[in-house]
Structure 1
């Protein structure tokens, strides 16, 4: 049953779905949720264990003997700091590699959040590595740290690369600070971050050429060689090969651009084998439109409709291939998205993804509540189309200043009617100075999320919309007693 609740409707007259499926006693999504949480625990333990193993291998190869003197102690501390710092850098690269096991366990945005969190500790440890090594070596040779640093630069093979690596790491961390990032366009920040790979590449040679911990015949040498090779292979496979393979496999081409609202438009595309993208509702892709002025920009957008397949396969030069179409819906939020409205039909499209946990893979309960505002409504439309639920077990709330801001609202209504979901249109201005996600009249009447979804604490809740608004929704969700594992809110992170 589909219901439209205006903001001035009293709570007690809120409509209730006509069909309520009796509880079955079996939560079909709980086993997958338990497996995902177990994988998350495994990844967390593996991250900590990698640091322990790095230090343990050094101790096993006799590293502890250096603590017998001041010079040896400083050198040993420098080595330990370097080992842990380099381990954190490799973990950061793996978190940013878009590895499906990681992405499907903790989510793309959570992986990149941890990636950013590790940046400063890694830099501090690498700085401590250089400082303690300079003090330790200098004390052994009767030199001050500065003179020892100059001596290392001049006399030790590949050591100058270590200094270059440190400069690059500093540049990456500084440009990642929020205050600095706001001063530059994304493309500049992204280009600087690419230097992370150069920083790692220039840090590796001196570790193996100088000797010491990674000398020939040590366990550490083989361990770190394997770790570096595996990290590099993951980056090449998932960041380079997989997007190229997906773009080649699907052969996406823009078919038309359709205006949805004054500043909102849908880009429809045709392609091959799109059934392999089915079930991706809510998750996002990076889209690169291969036209002049566009090819160098990757845009993160969710599907606004599940891939639709043609009646039958079409013959190609390589045999028959299933044909289909898919769609994204974009709001003009800046120069980059505004230019997409002028994309010409026939433009080829490169694709990366799907990414993120904003989909069925995150489900933990049979019931589901979806809350969206603005352009954040469009991922909910495709999620509503694809995620399983029984009639009467889904509630959809879409929010806008007026009906014109309920993008794809008619399509969502049709889906709710077809699938037995309860739909609320929440329109009207917000209260001035009131941190609520509801319309002014609904907030004044004392409405909360529980007014619309009384059983929300026993449901998965998906939230998508502008960040300040979403934060207000999340507070209401938490106040309603929804556990953290049932709340799904994901940012499109780069």
Structure 2
């Protein structure tokens, strides 16, 4: 059965009401499940927030508990004490930044990979300012006590105090990392340059540690501070080593992925199929993304974040199964993937992100995609649970040719009873906030025209950044709450 929403010229509704592929649980059970998982995620988010800010408070509190404030008896000692507090807070924020970028599952499944990196980026400037303040205040305080200006005192510390030169090196590295992370600066250099410079964060942390334990009695043996900082530094290092290095190595070894076929979908768009073992353990649960490294000359060092465009197939007689990503030529990195050869080995990390069923809060679901952003929705549509009639899919493209995997999505919608709209045509040139085709805008259509019950639905949005922001604004205007909108960014 097909219906068509009128009078919007670019909108084609392809609806089917066949039985779903797999048995689905009852609506009441799904609703309770989504409510519980949302509540648990909120509780985890609160716990992580308290833990993060509590760590900063603990660093200062332990300094006070070890008698830090008792030495304040002059202007010089007051400057020195303020410098110590700034250094403790700044270093704690740096460790939090590293943990946010460590891809720890509890963080990823609570706030999502993109929000974790957003917080990571936002902590960059405050941590740098605190560390700069630490150096300036310490030099001022020491200088006042010895009758020297801050610059002369800094030179004396560099020359005379063991390990202090490493602190100056650490500060220079932190400045380089923060400056290259600024959006205006990042746009001037290729991703590979920024990524390499960003790795200096680890060197900056490593060179900052020696002077903390060797200079003065701040972290003297037997103090609570010493054990606290040893514990959080070891824990941070272990998390980075396990989740960023060991776990990807184990996953790559376990699944033994190789490229089996590269097939054209549309001009500049290809399906990359890979075969491997135990791929059910690698499933992204629809929409979540992986980081792929294709182990070929010129490619092995370049990470590519792509979502699955199809869930892994059932294993064959030899235990191998197949999964698939869909890639569009958007630049030099992705252009090289168009020419991948079958047999190329693949290293994999993930899955990551909240763009999946784990983010659901409602029974009803709306999926809105544009361009290559359509392809993760295909996997999500395949796997996320919903009853016939409770899902709506909106695909946006300049033409039908840009509705990538459109035939597969149509088949899934017919099979599972989801409404499908093709929103094709040019955009409104003078309306920067429009995400609909020009004809639909002129006809007075908005998001609620296609999904009248959208305020009671989860909304998954995937597409170009500006377009996605416009869709998010339209969803908010239609009464959709922030917790119901799910959108993953890859431009941090």
Which TM-score band applies after superposition, normalised by the shorter structure?
A: over 0.9
Structure 2 partner of 1:348: 345
Q: Is contact 1:75-1:135 (8 Å) kept?
A: yes
CA separation of 1:247 and 1:18: change in aligned 2, threshold 3 A: closer
Is 2:129 the counterpart of 1:131?
A: no
**How far is 1:14 from its partner?**
7.6
Q: What corresponds to 1:189 in structure 2?
A: 194
The 10-residue stretch of structure 1 (378-387 or 206-215) with the greater mean CA deviation from structure 2 = 206-215
Partner in structure 2 of residue 464 of structure 1? 462
Q: Is the 8 A contact 1:28 1:366 kept in 2?
A: no
- Give the counterpart of 1:83 among 82, 85, 88: 88
**Does 1:52 pair with 2:57?**
yes
Whole-Å separation in 2 of the counterparts to 1:57 and 1:328 = 50
Q: Deviations over 1:161-182 (max 9, x none)?
A: 0000000000001101111100
Verify the 8 A CA contact 1:75 1:132 in the aligned structure 2.
yes
**8 A contact 2:17–2:416 mirrored in 1:** no
Matched residue SS, 1:28:
helix
Aligned match for 1:325, one of 322, 326, 331: 322
For the residues of structure 2 that align with 1:233 and 1:23, how far apart are their CA atoms? 42
* Partner residue in 2 for 1:442: 440
CA distance in 2, matches of 1:207, 1:234: 22
Say which SS state the counterpart of residue 373 (structure 2) adopts: helix
1:160 aligned onto 2:165: yes
Query: Does 1:338 find its partner at 2:343?
Result: no
Query: Where does the alignment leave 5 or more consecutive residues of structure 2 unmatched?
Result: none
Q: Are 2:278 and 1:281 equivalent residues in the alignment?
A: no
1:357 to 339, 347, 354: 354
Spell out the pairing of 1:146-225 with structure 2 (5 A cutoff).
Answer: 146-225=151-230
Q: Could you tell me which residue of structure 2 aligns to residue 453 of structure 1?
A: 451
| 1:350 shift after superposition | 0.4
Higher mean C-alpha displacement, 116-125 vs 20-29:
20-29
**How far apart are 1:216 and its partner, in Å?**
1.4
The separation in 2 between residues aligned to 1:396 and 1:225, in whole angstroms, is: 51
Change (3 A) 1:14 1:288: closer
- Give 1:133 shift: 0.4
CA deviations on 1:192-242 (whole Å, 9 max, x unpaired) are 000000000000000001133211111000000000000000000000001
What RMSD, in angstroms, separates the aligned Cα atoms of the two structures?
2.0
The secondary structure found in structure 2 opposite 1:357 is coil
Secondary structure of 1:358's counterpart equals coil
Matched, 1:293 2:293: no
* TM-score (norm. length: structure 2): 0.95
* Structure 1 partner of 2:382: 385
Q: Structure 1 457/177 Cα, relative in aligned 2: closer, same or farther at 3 Å?
A: same
TM-score, length-normalised on structure 1? 0.95
Kept in 1: contact 2:2–2:13 (CA 8 A): no
**Cα 1:342–1:390 shift into 2, 3 Å:** same
Partner of 1:254: 259
Cα distance in 1, alignment partners of residues 117 and 3 from structure 2? 38
**Matching residue of 2:417:** 420
Aligned to 2:480: 482
Q: Does residue 405 of structure 1 match 2:402?
A: yes
Residue 39 of structure 2 corresponds to which residue in structure 1? 34
Check 1:407–1:131 CA distance in 2 against 1; reply closer, same or farther (3 A cut): same
Name the CA distance, whole Å, in 2 between partners of 1:463 and 1:384: 13
> How far apart are 1:278 and its partner, in Å?
2.8
1:491 aligns with 2:486: no
Q: Tell me the matched-pair count.
A: 485
Aligned-residue offset at 1:472: 1.0
Mapped pair 1:70 → 2:68: no
Q: Report if the CA contact (8 A) 2:18-2:416 is conserved.
A: no
Q: CA deviation at 1:8?
A: 2.8
Match 1:118 to one of 100, 119, 123 = 123
